[in-house]
Structure 1
């Protein structure tokens, strides 16, 4: 026993010593002095109680160089993951499991586009044909890169690099453009949806498709448009402030070590509907859960500029943020900006495609993927004039067609100007200047939301929208051989959906369909049915005394009023006498109001039952892989009411039996299965089937996929009110296990009243830092889980007085 205790003591000393050594070598230092090459005068950074940097400098370049340094100090490994996804170099860093992802993004063309955007960016600026001085926004980009690279060169790298036995290379402008490319891809729903819809159309027929909401239905809620008047140059004429009147792509993407954008809410309320008589601005961007979460907050001050922003890893300008005079945010404008063209190969030449009477050569190139601890892989990429041929990297296409399928994507058609756009948005001094930034966003589609101190509110659907032939169904593979399905050009930005100072007294967006454009066209997309938008619009319209406190109830609401309607359809299809012993839980579901309180039992049965109904309806036609893909597309959310309520739908019949099943057969069978599984999972007493027992709340780190690193790097929280399409959307994938992992939710929750900008609030899902040994790794996790907020500080005297540490950058 004595020897055992001594051995245990020695082991404890070794473990403790190792922990202290790793902490010493990798923990961030938020105080002291750093000497910075390239700075003109230096900068001071005050870190508040939540680790948010407040940067004070005498010029833009010094401010952004300091930002690059502190951003890297907290988020370098996140920057590493983001740039490696966008450059197709994950396998080089993490090993052979990521080869498929690298091949996918290289075939799609994001790395090549990043290099092209950099080449365009590097072209010298000119004025009247003569060389011009580099603009301030470009100087600031380069300064940010210097700051990131100074940290990489001089400071302590995070623990992930030590565990992986690797060191980061220098950060580059092409890395920035690659990050923009990946984030532009993340909501490319086409690649998940079009193979599925085409398979249904070709194998099952139109009677199956018409039950699905492939296109927006009349009952779906649409965003109102309100176009402003413009001058002859296209600029908004100064408008009056708003007044009031009453083994699929999916499986591959799940393995990526970075989050995907999943949706979002935003609304801006005009002075006529607020208690303060000033604009009230709210935004909560919905992004895949991850540790660290996607947004990095930073407050910058230099002469002529005072701004509090939320930044993506590796990008210098906030995608969401505010000054004392204006605020802007975003949601995904889920327009259809990608088409899949089924190509026809020339019989005379396998490297040519047919397009009408033409034979168009394909671009064929060899690419090499470096792999950690393995030999490099060489693979061939083929590109038609439409885009990369996706068959090799999307094996599910084989079930739909034997022909090559190319991805035509708006994002790849011109260099990105996202850096310039976000600079303009963050530096905008009025409504017109904000629009000049919004119009530079060509892809992905973003709903840019705006409010200002002058009382203006606005929403712009920012994207380059292609004009397609009238006959084209954008949810099916297009014919690449005739030339008849080709895009015809682009709509001007002025015709994009938008609303500027509308009579309703608010603008709002929740990823739903905008109303018709000026030309009376519904622009196609992968829009949500509008459950969240309806709750937001109805609630805002109900009163005229909104303030920073009472609006929180809406931002935190976990209610969906359509789910109880679906539940009633299911309950009406069964014979209650067959389920006498389960009467209590069925009564709870019958009385359900669509809330998701953790002690409720109705949601537990509703989601389990819904899953088994859908599976019993569809897996015999689609197969397991495509059924799982269906569960992850907009089709599931938009089509669920129609699928459940169409009694004569062909989906009800089980193709594996001789009998013809009805909706009652399938729904009753699904309930029997659901009740049996819930009793096995949660016990025989239905009163114990509380919603909280079925929810898992975790923010996964890229290294947390392997045990025991999950216990070290992942961040778990109190159970969240997971829900399907509530305003506070905490989403999960339906499954048969009855354990629902919350995989996305608000990545921030901003509330700002222009009556007191210094009192604005937000919260992050975990914390500001991605460094394991930072005190800000997860210090906001419980605030977030329990629906609390913390300040977005901008008042200098308060910041300096309450600062927890100060980091000074000096020049030689």
Structure 2
């Protein structure tokens, strides 16, 4: 008993010590939001006002000082995020997380991002303002690394701090350019369907690409001079940094607003993680001002506004990756065939350091098209060498100049010049200003092949017939300036015809675009409050149409009363994805069963590559309308040809049986909130003991896949929908009241778990609320937290 009491005392003392240490750590290691600090390389004092959600409002006498301060405060809130994204882009995650991320590292190191960064940096103008300001920003980051407090993640994971270089910044650009990797999922799949199932299956499937299109219209008018008033899925599931997915944006012209001024809205869709992808900062000097949203390690914001103009982006989704089958020399596997004979591959040795293991060393073959991806992308299971040609690594990279120019534009013309320099990723650049101009530019280096070539299957690398034939001038890119409709918008949908046809891409289905047009078109008195309601809209215009096609084909004669009740609830559903709705639960499960019963038998293992892609979402409304289809037959049933009616009835019955087992007999109790949730995951939150401290959530929420409030989830066997992506921010800038523009982040401004701003926006975001993006200097100077950065001798 004496020893037991002694043991209990020791345990109590240890627990108290841990609690005290944790309290001390939390009080000591939160970011500095007030007080005074001395930092090097400032020419003058910089004052940083932190508002109530932790956004720094940086006041400096010159831009070099401002960007040094920006780097410092960005690092103190987001250094761990910076560490992860630079390692991801360079293929260095295994160094800290171990062998489970070797595949991810091998993939990203094989894309050629680092090699492209080195090449670009050699050619940079070292005397340009954008280069000097980028270095000033990095100096601020590195000063925090040297003098600031080490984030707790470094201690938990076991990471040594390293200073950042301009190459790290360009590697981040490369990761952004890679974006969502649709080509890597879809091109190998379509090639396999074409080669193994034949032309009939292939042609019917790709025919869906040209149906049900809400097209972005090209229209250039005068500028106003008015007064200044699966494998890839599995790979990406492991990423601790968010991939880019999609987005919405619309800009409403003055004639369609109540107050006669432009209203700008943007919500880029990005994979959810903690911290949120964007870091907000307001930089102000006597000659410059921008309120921006920054990626980790990027000094110039990709989303921003001031009192003169606002800009943002969505993913263009153009096809900027081509895969080529190379023909190797049978006598020398280190050579490949060209129209002029065999030439040597470039051989690039790669080394991946792995925590607790020996280094992994491998060699990548690089042809004139790009790296051979066999063994780098697991689902390229092909004996033929498949090389990847990516426009990001193929042509000159001016992306730092793009970010600088769009954030420093003095006019629409200036902004367009910046947008024109982007080569990859393809982005829809959205613009609105105080002079009542609105514009949309589809930015990216577009190119042509011979007219008959379909580029979403493997191309012939040896013949010379499948090469790029011409690059387009930016003036031929899709774009609109002050269109007669009175608004511009993008929702990752297909742009109107250019150079004689629809430009190939991985455009998303028309649902969000169609809904945006439905709401914008009839109304001519828009207010900021109306736009705030619209950006949270959860209605699908196409779901009820698809349901009507489903219901027509269900055999109803032998259904039970409860099954008929499920049909009635589905028919009466208006496509609204709110928490208390039953329709989304029935609809999503029915779609899952329908797609599986239609395509899985023919596709086999490749079906897992097909499902949950943008491509299948475009195929769905087209396929469900067809009375005759080669895909209807279930090849696993011998000597029987299935019909559309049989496939849909079978899918309905399986759906009903599954939901009864999952949610109970009462159909009316199959509420959407019972199966939908979101959790914002931190890289170390995967450890069970740390999850509740670092992850934010889980939460019940509202929204659905491909509605304006886009909540992206997988349709799978579980019947549970765990949201993995959505609006990474929602922003509304009203030029009739620009000082009170609105924004919100999914969790909070800080990535430091001890900061009060780690998750203070989470509930507001889920509820569709906003916080003010402050520009009024008098209001800003009333902030309770003020940090003064003084020059250090």
TM-score interval (norm. to shorter): over 0.9
CA distance in 2, matches of 1:156, 1:545: 51
Provide the residue aligned with 1:503 in structure 2.
484
Provide the residue aligned with 1:337 in structure 2.
320
Provide the residue aligned with 2:288 in structure 1.
305
SS in 2 for 1:604: helix
- Deviation (angstroms), 1:635: 0.8
The answer to whether the 8 A contact 2:306-2:775 is kept is no
Q: 1:508–1:369: structure 2 CA closer, same or farther, 3 Å change rule?
A: same
Provide the residue aligned with 1:34 in structure 2.
37
Matched, 1:72 2:75: yes
Provide the residue aligned with 1:89 in structure 2.
92
Provide the residue aligned with 2:616 in structure 1.
636
CA distance in 2, matches of 1:181, 1:83: 10
Candidates 764, 772, 784, aligned match of 1:783: 764
Matched, 1:47 2:50: yes
The answer to whether the 8 A contact 1:89-1:102 is kept is yes
Provide the residue aligned with 2:279 in structure 1.
296
SS in 1 for 2:304: strand
SS in 2 for 1:520: coil
CA distance in 1, matches of 2:130, 2:462: 44
Matched, 1:715 2:696: yes
Candidates 664, 667, 671, aligned match of 2:652: 671
- Deviation (angstroms), 1:214: 5.8
Aligned pairs for 1:245-260 within 5 A: 248-260=231-243
Structure 1 unaligned segments of length 5 or more: list them.
125-133, 229-236
Could you give the per-residue CA deviations for residues 413-462 of structure 1, whole angstroms, max 9, x where no partner exists? 13422221111111111111001110111100000001111111111001
Deviates more, 1:707-716 or 1:212-221: 212-221
Candidates 196, 199, 221, aligned match of 2:189: 196
CA distance in 1, matches of 2:396, 2:345: 22
CA distance in 1, matches of 2:481, 2:298: 29
CA distance in 2, matches of 1:241, 1:617: 57
Provide the residue aligned with 1:233 in structure 2.
none
Could you give the per-residue CA deviations for residues 756-810 of structure 1, whole angstroms, max 9, x where no partner exists? 1101001000000011010000000000000000100011111111333434333
- Deviation (angstroms), 1:120: 1.9
Could you give the per-residue CA deviations for residues 300-331 of structure 1, whole angstroms, max 9, x where no partner exists? 00011111000001100010001110111100
- Deviation (angstroms), 1:6: 4.7
Candidates 141, 144, 155, aligned match of 1:151: 144
CA distance in 2, matches of 1:602, 1:531: 17
CA distance in 2, matches of 1:772, 1:412: 37
Deviates more, 1:250-259 or 1:756-765: 250-259
Provide the residue aligned with 1:166 in structure 2.
159
Aligned pairs for 1:451-530 within 5 A: 451-517=432-498, 519-530=499-510
CA distance in 2, matches of 1:552, 1:365: 51
CA distance in 2, matches of 1:418, 1:576: 58
The answer to whether the 8 A contact 1:211-1:639 is kept is no
Q: 1:358–1:803: structure 2 CA closer, same or farther, 3 Å change rule?
A: farther
Could you give the per-residue CA deviations for residues 552-599 of structure 1, whole angstroms, max 9, x where no partner exists? 221110010211111222222222233223222221101111001111
Provide the residue aligned with 2:342 in structure 1.
359
CA distance in 2, matches of 1:806, 1:108: 41
- Deviation (angstroms), 1:104: 1.0
CA distance in 2, matches of 1:65, 1:427: 17
Could you give the per-residue CA deviations for residues 647-667 of structure 1, whole angstroms, max 9, x where no partner exists? 321222222220222222222
Aligned pairs for 1:544-555 within 5 A: 544-555=524-535
Matched, 1:225 2:218: yes
SS in 2 for 1:697: strand
Between Structure 1 and Structure 2, how many residues are aligned?
Answer: 786
Deviates more, 1:430-439 or 1:570-579: 570-579
SS in 1 for 2:631: helix
CA distance in 1, matches of 2:25, 2:206: 53
Q: TM-score, normalised by structure 1?
A: 0.94
Q: TM-score, normalised by structure 2?
A: 0.96
Q: 1:485–1:239: structure 2 CA closer, same or farther, 3 Å change rule?
A: farther
CA distance in 2, matches of 1:731, 1:288: 8
CA distance in 1, matches of 2:576, 2:220: 36
The answer to whether the 8 A contact 2:323-2:459 is kept is yes
Aligned pairs for 1:413-424 within 5 A: 413-424=394-405
CA distance in 2, matches of 1:119, 1:492: 26
Deviates more, 1:1-10 or 1:684-693: 1-10
Could you give the per-residue CA deviations for residues 179-223 of structure 1, whole angstroms, max 9, x where no partner exists? 000011022311111001111111112222233246632431100
Provide the residue aligned with 1:112 in structure 2.
115
Aligned pairs for 1:599-614 within 5 A: 599-614=580-595
SS in 2 for 1:85: helix
Candidates 177, 181, 184, aligned match of 1:184: 177
The answer to whether the 8 A contact 1:333-1:447 is kept is yes
Provide the residue aligned with 2:59 in structure 1.
56
Provide the residue aligned with 1:657 in structure 2.
637
Aligned pairs for 1:761-780 within 5 A: 761-780=742-761
Deviates more, 1:213-222 or 1:454-463: 213-222
Provide the residue aligned with 1:127 in structure 2.
none
The answer to whether the 8 A contact 2:269-2:728 is kept is yes
The answer to whether the 8 A contact 2:96-2:158 is kept is no
The answer to whether the 8 A contact 2:225-2:435 is kept is no
Provide the residue aligned with 1:234 in structure 2.
none
Q: 1:94–1:25: structure 2 CA closer, same or farther, 3 Å change rule?
A: farther
The answer to whether the 8 A contact 1:214-1:635 is kept is no
CA distance in 1, matches of 2:112, 2:39: 36
Provide the residue aligned with 2:626 in structure 1.
646
Matched, 1:585 2:588: no
Deviates more, 1:33-42 or 1:331-340: 33-42
Q: 1:264–1:241: structure 2 CA closer, same or farther, 3 Å change rule?
A: farther
